[in-house]
Structure 1
């Protein structure tokens, strides 16, 4: 059985993953890390991974960007593989994660769901056919009112997946409100909507001459991300140092 430490255990996703692990014979949460330690769990909770004295095979991180720097350093120091699920990381943090992968196994994905990772592949194929035929590409993402980063990491991953098929020659446009001019051909528009309790919705729009093709993924529950994180943790435990993604898990 894989022994996991839940980083951000008392957050919403941390609690969902804790519940899933209780019903999964392949993994057990043996400790948690959270600044709020008063909530009762079936495992000990520490304020940092550095303070944690419980042995584990992998760390699952669903916390916030401010806590990731220390987490990465502690995982390297303890030589524990880490599944990084926190979004909104800076370029410096992503570079730090990449450097850490030389010493421990690091799995980073913009989105942990199976459907989104399939969508990342589908848009590549669509881009090959549609963009040369004159189609413009727009991405619209929607999330709950409490999400702090915009656009979502998944929206950026979709844009990157599309742009890779375009030799990374297209620019991302996040706001057209200050410009009065027609849409440029070599751009990908990305719009963010925040409101209510929307779990997550991503739509990729290919708008061409007289026709529109849309790819859409809707998450109705955080459980889809939690399941992916649990499977990723079981996959990553015992792996050699390196960078991994959900495509490896799948």
Structure 2
């Protein structure tokens, strides 16, 4: 039985993760970390992860980015594998994860969906084949999402740019009367509204033809399932930095 510390356990993703883990059979949430109180949890919930005394095999973090340092410090101090699924991390935070991976197993991806991670290879290959096409990314999320553009949009953009020898410049939205599109732009646009779980569309616009590659998440379950799969994967791994591609490769 894999024993899980669930960081962000009282949030919307925490609720979904608890449901999936409870039905998993091979995993159990033995403790939680959250800055909000919840009397309904059937496991101890700590405001400070340092207070956790339960034996933990892996940490799944779906909390707010402001809690990043405390949860990473707990993982490093106790040498526990960490699945970092929180969005809105800074470049400094990302660098800290890379450094931490030299001490503990760290799983990091901007999107836990298996489908999105398969999509990465598709959009990169399309970019290489569609020479001269203008490329734009549109991402849509619910009205409570705090970071923009989404980490997934940036992940897609970086994958495309890498396939094109990093020749593109990112443009975040457009406004004004002198904003004619430049040939080396990669446009990234964010939409926020309602309860959209997550939509990402990559548009390749050429002369007289348009190709759109889209991924839509209809619920938060796709992200929770990916996080659970990642946690099972790294729970017994040696130190290192892991992502969904490694999981998919087995």
Contact kept? 1:6, 1:31, Cα under 8 Å = yes
The secondary structure found in structure 2 opposite 1:161 is helix
TM-score (norm 1): 0.97
The secondary structure found in structure 1 opposite 2:49 is coil
The secondary structure found in structure 2 opposite 1:215 is strand
Q: 2:183 aligns with which of 182, 185, 191?
A: 185
Match of 2:38 in 1: 38
The secondary structure found in structure 1 opposite 2:56 is coil
Match of 1:142 in 2: 140
Does residue 23 of structure 1 match 2:23? yes
Match of 1:231 in 2: 229
For 1:182 and 1:31, the matched residues in 2 are separated by 53
Contact kept? 1:128, 1:165, Cα under 8 Å = yes
Deviation at 1:145, TM superposition (A): 0.4
TM-score (norm 2): 0.97
The secondary structure found in structure 2 opposite 1:54 is coil
Structure 1 consecutive aligned stretches of length 4 or more whose deviation exceeds 2 Å? none
For 2:179 and 2:229, the matched residues in 1 are separated by 47
Match of 1:202 in 2: 200
Contact kept? 2:10, 2:38, Cα under 8 Å = no
The secondary structure found in structure 2 opposite 1:50 is helix
Deviation at 1:178, TM superposition (A): 4.2
Residue-by-residue CA offset, 1:167-208 (whole Å, 9 max, x unaligned): 112110003214604211111000000011111000000000
For 2:166 and 2:228, the matched residues in 1 are separated by 33
Show the 5 A alignment for 1:132-171. Answer: 132=131, 134-171=132-169
For 2:119 and 2:29, the matched residues in 1 are separated by 30
Number of corresponding residues: 248
Contact kept? 1:10, 1:39, Cα under 8 Å = no
Q: Which runs of 5+ in 2 are unaligned?
A: none
